[in-house]
Amino acid sequence: MRVAVTGGAGFIGSHLVEKLVELGNSVVVIDNMSSGSLSNLERVREKIDLKIADVKDLRTCLDVFKDVEVVYHFAANPEVRVSVTNPKIHFDENVYATFVVAEASRLSNNVRTIVFASSSTVYGDATVPTPEDSSLRPISVYGASKAAAELILHSYSHLYGIRVVVLRYANIIGPRLKHGVVYDFLMKLSKNPDVLEVLGDGRQRKSYLYIDDAIEATILAAEASKAPFEVYNVGNSDWVEVSEIAKIVSKVLGLKPRIVFTGGTKDGRGWPGDVKFMLLSIDKITSLGWRPKHSSAEAVELAARSLATELGLLKTF
């Protein structure tokens, strides 16, 4: 099958591209390299078509989507914290970009399915474990941008018969990751191995899923969904505290830094808009036969180890 992956040079996107190629698909990637890189695609570079361009350009998308049946829309600005300082980035890169991808899919006349990388942040401060039918009450512009993008896609599925599969990911971690708490801790420790500053009170507790588990769930959900519009939570069955993550990452580097908590917001969040407790109900996706192979803590250790190797940090300490 001919498939397109927007953001295919990024962290999740590049792992997805590798799996899609392995499964025998003909893959075209569109990525503007704002946070992605060619090195992420080096294992499959000869086997794919690559367009270095912005998905917000309708003509380019139309050209890329020629003969494409399934679009995996993973291009976005994934940094939740950016919401606080520059909310427009999330409107442009996550909402408007999704509108263009939907429009290009409609106008192409050949795209039958859009698989969309949404996020647990659409729920905001929800009761946990949070099922798919919970209210969408995002507390960051990032979360709001993902919720808005989901709704645009819903209208396209209703009006134009494009099948949409929405995947609300928990924290996905593993090699090639360039944002989030595990990456941040590694970078901080590479600069100062004696002190590790943790944003917030350290009591934030969230679910983490290793990239291989996430890719398996993504492929399964994309293939299993038959409804015009289907939503799946993709996360782990357990969670881990940020203070524990600090200890795991330090241990991977063989360090014993002094761990300092900034305190964060009044209620101990890392930053305004940070969801402090996140655990998704994964009953729906597990009913398809998928199970995470690694717990949240195991995922953190595996990711920290692979990222530390990638960043050359294991040699340093």
CB 71 within 8 A of CB 110: no
Angle at 102 between CA 99 and CA 107, to 5 degrees: 125
Rule CB under 6 A: is residue 56 a binding residue for ligand NAD? Answer: yes
Tell me if residue 123 is catalytic: no
- DSSP summary character for residue 67: T
Among the residue ranges 54-62, 104-112, 272-280, 295-303, the one whose residues contact ligand NAD (CB under 6 A): 54-62
Tokens of 231: 């939503």
Q: Applying CB under 6 A, does 207 fall inside the site for ligand NAD?
A: no
Output the smallest distance, CB 286 to ligand NAD, in A. 19
Q: Does residue 86 belong to the site contacting ligand NAD (CB under 6 A)?
A: no
**Nearer CB in complex with ligand NAD: 36/292:** 36
The sheet carrying 2-6 orders its strands as 49-52, 26-31, 2-6, 70-73, 113-119, 163-169, 229-234
- Cα(153)–Cα(187) distance, integer angstroms: 36
Q: Please work out the total of residues on this chain that contact ligand NAD, with binding judged by CB under 6 A.
A: 28
- Min dist CB 33 to ligand NAD, Å, is 5
Least spacing, CB of residue 99 vs ligand NAD, in Å: 12
Q: Is 143 in the site for ligand NAD (CB under 6 A)?
A: no
The nearest distance, CB 83 to ligand NAD, in angstroms, is: 12
Check residue 82 for interaction with ligand NAD (CB under 6 A): no
At residue 237, φ and ψ (nearest 5 deg) are -90, -5
DSSP 248-287: HHHHHTT--PEEEE---STT--SSTT--SEE-B--HHHHT
Binding mask 161-180 for ligand NAD (x = CB under 6 A): --------x-xx-----x--
Binding status of residue 27 toward ligand NAD by CB under 6 A: no
- Out of 78, 129, 143, 264, name the contact with ligand NAD by CB under 6 A: 78
At residue 82, the 3 state secondary structure works out as helix
Distance spanning both ends of the chain, measured CA to CA: 46
Of these, 3, 4, 13, 300, which contacts ligand NAD (CB under 6 A)?
Answer: 13
Told to check if 23 binds ligand NAD by CB under 6 A, we report: no
Residue 54 binds ligand NAD (CB under 6 A): yes
Complex with ligand NAD: residue 7 or 292, whichever CB lies closer: 7
* CA dihedral sign, ordered 298, 302, 307, 313: positive
Integer Cα distance of 138 and 35 in angstroms = 24
Closest to ligand NAD by CB, 26 vs 35, is 35
Site for ligand NAD (CB under 6 A): which residue of 48, 76, 189, 300? 76
Residue 192 buriedness (CB in 10 A; 0-12 / 13-18 / 19+): exposed
For residues 94-113, which are near ligand NAD according to CB under 6 A? Answer: 97
- Is residue 77 within 8 Å of 99, Cβ to Cβ? no
For the annotated catalytic residues, the residue numbers are: 142
Binding site for ligand NAD (CB under 6 A): 7, 9-13, 30-36, 54-56, 74-76, 78, 93, 97, 117, 119, 169, 171-172, 178
